[in-house]
Amino acid sequence: MNTHVHWIPTRSRTEAAEDATELFRNTYNTNPAGCWVAPGRVNLIGEHVDYAQGISLPFALSQVTAVAAAPREDTLVRITSISGDNTLQTEVDLKDVGPKNPANWSGYIVGTIWALAEAGVVPLRGYDMALVSDVPLGAGLSSSAALECCVAVAACDLQEATAEKDILAKACMRAENEVVGASTGGLDQQISLKGEDGHALAIDFRDNSSYQVPFDMEGHGLAILVVDTNAPHELADGQYASRRAVIDGVSEKFGPLRDQENLNPDQWADENPDPSGTLDAEAWRKKVRARVAHVQSEIARTANAIEELKRGDMQAFGNSMCASHASLRDDYEVSCPELNMVVDTAMAQGALGARMTGGGFGGSAIALVKKADIEKIAQAIADAFAEANFRDPRVAVAIPAAGAQRVEV
């Protein structure tokens, strides 16, 4: 079998900015005041721990969302966006923005501006905006954070406002958590704003500190292959929330999980029975233990993986990736057959490591592969999906890139 491999298209940042600028001109019959881009992200390791004071290691993708924008004198935000073959248009008055409103795609945009105004960073003022994106929607590569972060840096530049990147990240999180209603922990926004070429970003969510970690794949003859499974992916549903509720509850009772060496969460499980009502007491205890075990092991595993990367031990790092996937699959139960197939196929074809990335329940998986094996492994994954009658996957070679920035056109 030789199934066609679908590669994710990638424009340069300048090309994306040019396309956004052209869309702006065609929509509003004038030139924008500028254009800004922000990247999606891949999380190398440290999954589902950002909301548990854990450690994560993402890097920013070369795929970006670009916004061409100009300020208005009123509080109206007019938006035009190209998504696939569709052009979406809407307008929202910032005076109407608040918790759960608008709880749709425009909420990521206007919610970010609203949150920046609430924080006193920018005035409550409207914009005309045109957006294009190469970050695949629903792929677990954080298209939402790319959207929020390019809007955040655009609004600040247009209002000649200065704010630390952590302040911008918090505003973007408010847009996602409060306005749209997606419960995410801040990893995506930080890396979209702080990414650097050739580096991953180690983020410690205990104190919100971060530092750059060199990620020299070229020097090792390696690459990160990203595979968008095209399986359904939705973070704003009960699956993500139910797992976070367990971790939040156990942490509130016993303290941060990374500090608890001999924690037995049965007491919390007994005090807080299965909310779905489908599990008996012992089955629920087992489930809660597994959820906690993933978070504790993933935090320790990520700390070790960062050291492996620093000393250039790529095989050890690959082993850590595989252990992370196994934990996400078996203990946290956020994987799916498509994600598992990517990991299993890549490893069978000689990858050093592979794992699902992002929230799970669909989305993307990544594999650490030899550059010479990129085509072979991508083909094997496409063939495996075809044989299983899964949707066609899309693949890309991920390159650690810079964070959100203005692009001159």
Q: Is the dihedral of CA 272, 278, 282, 287 positive or negative?
A: negative
Given the residues 188, 228, 331, 373, the one annotated as active site: 188
CA 346 to CA 7: how far, in whole Å? 16
Q: Tokens for 139?
A: 């792929």
CA 357 to CA 60: how far, in whole Å? 13
CA 201 to CA 43: how far, in whole Å? 9
The closest alpha carbon to 10, from 179, 135, 142, belongs to: 135
- In the block, residue with structure tokens 């205990």: 206
Nearest-Å Rg of the Cα atoms of the chain is 21
DSSP-assigned letter for residue 408: -
- In the block, residue with structure tokens 């999180």: 173
DSSP-assigned letter for residue 321: H
- Verify whether residue 280 is a known catalytic residue: no
CA 26 to CA 145: how far, in whole Å? 26
CA 138 to CA 50: how far, in whole Å? 20
CA distances from 334 to 52, 54, 80, 145, 340 (A): 16, 18, 34, 21, 11
- CB of 75 closer than 8 Å to CB of 93: yes
Which of the residues are catalytic?
Answer: 188
